[in-house]
Amino acid sequence: MEGWDWGAAEERDGARFSWNVWPSSRLEATRIVVPVGCLYTPLKRLENMPPPLAYDPIRCNGCGAILNPYCQIDFMTKLWCCPFCMQRNHFLPHYAENISETNLPAELIPQFTTVEYELQSSPVAGPPVFVFVVDTCLHDDELDELKDSLQQLLNLLPENALVGLITFGSNVMVHEIGFTDCPKSFVFRGNKEYSTAMVQGLLGVAPQGRGPGAMGQPYGQAPGGPGGQMPQQQGA
């Protein structure tokens, strides 16, 4: 992708990936020496973002990726090709009837590389959850500034929000912020690998799809519960 201005794209959307090209096969994925990751700037003010779209996103049948301006569109056959897995997908009938090169939905307009959706078919199952992941390998003055920023941000969160805190340096610490008698946290050694099941067992959270209580504790239990989440209002 010669000539592509990656710096401008990062500034426009507030996202920076460890790789600028995504692996499109399992074989390519096994050859990556550095895991695919992304640094995202939450609440970034974007100049070219439309109002929230009052419908559900269109997803790829192969990998679940969302329809976006980087997809290849065949207007004759009403198909779109996913840039992640190369799966060809049919447009839904209401899309196919109206879409054309001169009549695009907002999520396909080139300058709208970031959009927000107001989901219609997926009601919110509970209060919003915010987990702050903090790198503690900073100079003391930078860490103090970060603490001040986090305290200010807490005042902007909804009162019913659940808040969690994870810090990482030489070790990873999942803080039990709902436990007020003394500082309490789960510590994971930085030189040891942990399986997903092991982390779930240590934190007492249910794996996806097994429902609340699968590990003997309610998933996302508030104050003092597994994972260290607590209501924002109580922790303020």
Residues 226 and 157 in one domain: yes
- Dihedral of the CA atoms 183, 160, 131, 44 (nearest 10)? -130
How many Cβ atoms are within 10 Å of 42's Cβ, its own excluded? Answer: 7
Residues 142 and 224 in one domain: yes
Confidence at residue 223, expressed as pLDDT on a 0 to 100 scale: 40
Confidence at residue 229, expressed as pLDDT on a 0 to 100 scale: 56
Confirm whether 210 is domain-assigned. no
Residues 55 and 10 in one domain: no
Q: What is the pTM of this model?
A: 0.61
Distance CA 200, CA 36 (A): 23
Residues 231 and 169 in one domain: yes
Distance CA 214, CA 178 (A): 21
Which residues contact residue 56 at a Cβ distance below 8 angstroms, ignoring those fewer than 6 apart?
A: 117, 119, 120, 121, 122
- The last residue of one of the domains, among 59, 93, 122, is 122
Confidence at residue 46, expressed as pLDDT on a 0 to 100 scale: 87
pLDDT in tens, the chain (236 residues): 566 788 888 888 999 999 888 887 788 888 888 888 898 887 788 888 899 999 999 999 999 999 999 999 999 999 999 998 899 999 999 888 989 999 999 999 999 999 999 888 866 678 888 999 999 999 999 999 999 999 998 888 888 899 999 999 999 999 988 777 888 899 999 999 898 899 988 888 866 554 443 333 333 344 444 455 555 555 54
How many Cβ atoms are within 10 Å of 66's Cβ, its own excluded? Answer: 15
Confirm whether 215 is domain-assigned. no
Q: What is the DSSP letter of 189?
A: E
How many Cβ atoms are within 10 Å of 24's Cβ, its own excluded? Answer: 14
Which of left, alpha, beta for 30 (phi over 0: left; psi -120 to 50: alpha)? alpha
Confidence at residue 187, expressed as pLDDT on a 0 to 100 scale: 93
Which residues contact residue 184 at a Cβ distance below 8 angstroms, ignoring those fewer than 6 apart?
A: 175, 176
Residues 159 and 183 in one domain: yes
Residue 35 lies in domain: 6-40
Distance CA 102, CA 98 (A): 10
Confirm whether 62 is domain-assigned. yes
Confirm whether 155 is domain-assigned. yes
Task: Name beta bridge partners: 58.
Answer: none
Confidence at residue 205, expressed as pLDDT on a 0 to 100 scale: 80
Confirm whether 224 is domain-assigned. yes
Confidence at residue 217, expressed as pLDDT on a 0 to 100 scale: 38
What's the CATH code of the domain at 100? 2.30.30.380
